[in-house]
A and B are shown apart, each in its own frame.
Chain A
Amino acid sequence: MQYIGLEPERYQTSWISGAEGIKFQETMAKLVSDVKKLGPNRKLRDAQ
């Protein structure tokens, strides 16, 4: 995906157990802040 020009920050993978609430919260906060820095996605959107 990176190779065809999408920003790698938009796609993140993480392994979080149902018991790891704090890790989930931290991961989501990081994802949101990463994506906010990039701004709205304009790529791969012409189908809608």
Chain B
Amino acid sequence: MKEITNKIQAAATKLFEEGKIDVFLAWEQQGEYEFQTNSYVARSIEDVKNIVFNEYSIYNVANTLLKLRDGQERIGIAVKGCDSRGIVRLLEDLQIKRERLYIVGIPCPGMKDPLTAARNHGGFNKKKIEDGLAKKCLDCIQPNPVIYDELVGPEQSPRQQGDRFQKIKELEQMSADERYKFWEDTLSTCIRCYACRQVCVACDCRTCIFDEMKPQWVGRETSTTDNMMYHLVKHAHMAGRCIECGECERVCPVGIPLMLLNQKLIKDVGELFGGPEAGMQYVEGAKPALSVYRENDPDNFL
């Protein structure tokens, strides 16, 4: 990890010296402990020393690009496999230009969950939680960056094992009432903090349907109905766009298994449209399945 940090810092220093970039996006350590990480924007060569890549650099740094999308800065960015898929998504959505980016790819060895580490570290609960790789990293199918200008570190192999959609298939087998019960139990705990929206790379709308007050499309009450509407609408928008970075599920303060919704859509889009999954390859001008309009669409659902 230290090696990779050094390599990222060297790459960033070189880019700043050559004047190729104005900002460099990576991770930093915010506090005393190594699990207190966050995304970091280095704005000058002096900032480069703050860049840290350790086993808790789990934050999807591609999300930070959204804050810089309206500017003119040339951006250097360090990405893991999932982050690079996020970049492909943003490029496909024309949120940012490829010319503005210099991408340093990191084949990701898998990250640990900072929250688990924080829980193990302090508080009243001294019972240790097993400190393995984060769930999203155990289900990872693309640890190597799909788009990069420079690669640091050795290539990794996918960690996902067994049937990816096992859970989804189990849910599909249930009856409608059982499924409703399951989702009612799960989604009624939602506190509508919108963390899953904020952290999502695919959520790149400037005006969000859930912020609109006039007209108010979705109720803001934390009732089961409004929660279900929120999650239905939010995750239906992710169809064909979710890059499976698993950040929504990781940041959820009440632990809703949101990837069950996303993976169902990934499965359905894969079955209905085929083709590569969201963000798995970048072809200039290519569009994800549900962003294309063709007059000869079969429309056979009508």
Contact = CB atoms under 8 A, between A and B. Distances in A.
Interface of A: 1-7, 13-15, 43-47
Nearest to B180: A5
Q: Is the interface of A mostly helix, strand, loop or mixed?
A: loop
B148 interface: no
B219 interface: yes
A32 to B, nearest CB: 19
A9 to B, nearest CB: 10
Given A13-B302, A15-B302, A44-B228, A3 B223 contact: no
Contacts of B184: 5
Size category of the B interface is 20 to 34
Given A5-B178, A5-B181, A13-B301, A47 B232 contact: no
A48 B223 CA distance: 10
Nearest to A15: B302
B165 interface: no
B232 A4 contact: yes
B272 interface: no
Given A4-B183, A5-B183, A13-B301, A45 B225 contact: yes
26 contacts: A2-B176, A3-B172, A3-B261, A4-B183, A4-B228, A4-B231, A4-B232, A5-B176, A5-B177, A5-B178, A5-B181, A5-B182, A6-B176, A13-B301, A13-B302, A14-B302, A15-B302, A43-B180, A44-B224, A44-B225, A44-B229, A45-B225, A46-B224, A47-B219, A47-B221, A47-B225
Contacts of A1: 232
A28 B182 CA distance: 31
Interface in B215-258: 219, 221, 223-226, 228-229, 231-232
Nearest to A5: B180
Contacts of B299: 15
Nearest to B268: A3
Contacts of B228: 4, 44
A27 B183 CA distance: 31
A4 B223 contact: no
A32 B73 CA distance: 58
Interface in B180-235: 180-184, 187, 219, 221, 223-226, 228-229, 231-232
Contact of B179 (A5, A15, A45): A5
B171 interface: yes
A4 B179 contact: yes
